[in-house]
């Protein structure tokens, strides 16, 4: 049984799939935010968690962190470090969402689109979804075998 | 040892991201200033364009001033919010011109009012920029007497002034 678990965790195809899922998700998520930083900055403001001087910097930098880490995951460039970066981001997102759910603060998570549709109906679903992504990240971090490159070839290092 | 390597790699990823973010934000026409205006006590919140410290259009930043204009002048109040918001309550006598329907509605608006018609735009208060966009669009099409009531409908309602409904 233990071996079976290990063989799933250490299956290089599953690890690659996790990298693609997480990578594509983060690249996609960065897209709207990079295209309209004004809207994303307002969403960051809407979380009501950050000092005012930091709001613009957060809005400028986070999307590129998502993009760069996502690309790195898919390309197999520093994959473990990219997954750690993404999991730290996910923990921060989940903390921000949870704090606002608990204090009943209504807001738009701005996760994928920055067009302020006020679609905040499912902050809880968003947290659940983030947990799934976090597990994908964990799988990539804990993987101990030889990783494949983005197109499935085993790397020779 | 392995931790040191990971930390170094993470710093590289973060460094590349920050550098890329700042460069793209600086070069992009959609870029924003490094520090925005997020204090509602100082006015309407906005991230600001680089080098921009405000709009050139005059702002009315006290509800009592807006009320004075409302009672004394022949100023036209223009509501930039959605039709739904307008219908559930607006400043009496205000015209609805939702920012999203500007192109469709502006022609009949121009035909109805002279270019020197005093206008005050408003939306949902200091967390909403639509009244600024509307004011800008109106002055772009030739209206010369445009001002913005930045506390908008919520400020008006909170101070107990009369409300128009459909």
**Do residue B24 and residue A52 have CB atoms under 8 angstroms apart?**
no
Which residues in chain A show pLDDT less than 50? 114-120
Contact, A19 vs A76, CB < 8 A? yes
Rg (CA), chain A: 17
Tell me the three state secondary structure of residue A11. Answer: coil
And the tokens for B4? Answer: 């040191």
Taking residues B107-119, what's their average pLDDT? 94
Q: Higher model confidence: residue B125 or residue B79?
A: B79
State the pLDDT at residue B61: 86
Strand B58-60 relative to strand B76-79, pairing? unpaired
Q: Any idea where the domains of chain B sit in the sequence?
A: 1-31, 40-158
Strand B58-60 relative to strand B95-96, pairing? unpaired
Tokens 């070839």 — which residue?
A: A153
Pick from A8, A100, A86, A125: nearest CA to A48: A100
**CB proximity list for A142: less than 8 A, separation 6 or greater:** A9
**CB proximity list for A48: less than 8 A, separation 6 or greater:** A100, A105, A107
Q: Which chain B residue's Cα is nearest to A60? A: B21
- pLDDT band at residue B102 using 50, 70 and 90 as cut-offs: very high
pLDDT digits (tens, 9 = 90+) for B43-67: 778 888 665 544 568 889 899 999 9
Residues of A with CB under 8 A from a CB of B: 34-38, 41-42, 45, 52-53, 55-57, 59-61, 63-65, 67-69, 72, 78, 80-82, 84-85
CATH: 2.160.10.10, 3.40.250.10, 3.40.50.620, 2.60.40.10. Which one for B40-158? Answer: 3.40.250.10
**Do residue A78 and residue B39 have CB atoms under 8 angstroms apart?**
no
């Amino acid at each position: 049984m233990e071996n079976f678990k290990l063989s799933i965790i250490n299956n290089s195809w599953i690890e690659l799939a996790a990298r693609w899922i997480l990578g594509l998700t983060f690249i996609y998520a960065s897209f709207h935010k990079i295209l309209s930083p004004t809207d994303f900055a307002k969403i960051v403001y809407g979380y009501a968690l950050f000092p005012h001087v930091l709001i613009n910097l957060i809005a400028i930098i986070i999307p590129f962190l998502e993009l760069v880490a996502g690309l790195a995951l898919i390309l197999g460039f520093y994959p473990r470090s990219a997954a750690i970066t993404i999991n730290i981001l996910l923990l921060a997102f989940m903390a921000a969402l949870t704090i606002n759910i608990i204090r009943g603060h209504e807001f738009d998570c701005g996760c994928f689109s920055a067009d302020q549709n006020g679609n905040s109906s499912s902050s809880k679903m968003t947290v659940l979804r983030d947990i799934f992504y976090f597990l994908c990240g964990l799988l990539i971090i804990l993987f101990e075998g030889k990783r494949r490159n983005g197109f499935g070839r085993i790397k020779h290092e | 040892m392995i931790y040191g390597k990971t930390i170094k790699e993470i710093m590289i990823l973060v460094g590349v991201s920050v550098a890329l973010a700042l460069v793209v934000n600086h070069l992009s026409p959609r870029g924003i200033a490094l520090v925005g205006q997020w204090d509602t006590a100082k006015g309407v919140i906005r991230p600001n364009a680089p080098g921009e410290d405000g709009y050139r259009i005059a702002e009315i930043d006290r509800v009592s001033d807006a009320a004075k204009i409302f009672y004394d002048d022949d100023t036209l109040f223009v509501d930039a919010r959605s039709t739904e918001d307008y219908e559930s309550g607006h400043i009496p006598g205000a015209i609805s011109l939702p920012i999203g329907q500007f192109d469709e509605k502006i022609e009949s608006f121009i035909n109805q009012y002279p270019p020197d018609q005093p206008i005050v735009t408003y939306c949902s208060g200091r967390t909403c920029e639509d009244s600024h966009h509307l004011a800008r669009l109106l002055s772009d099409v030739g209206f010369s007497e445009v001002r913005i009531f930045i506390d908008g409908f919520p400020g008006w309602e909170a101070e107990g002034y009369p409300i128009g409904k459909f």
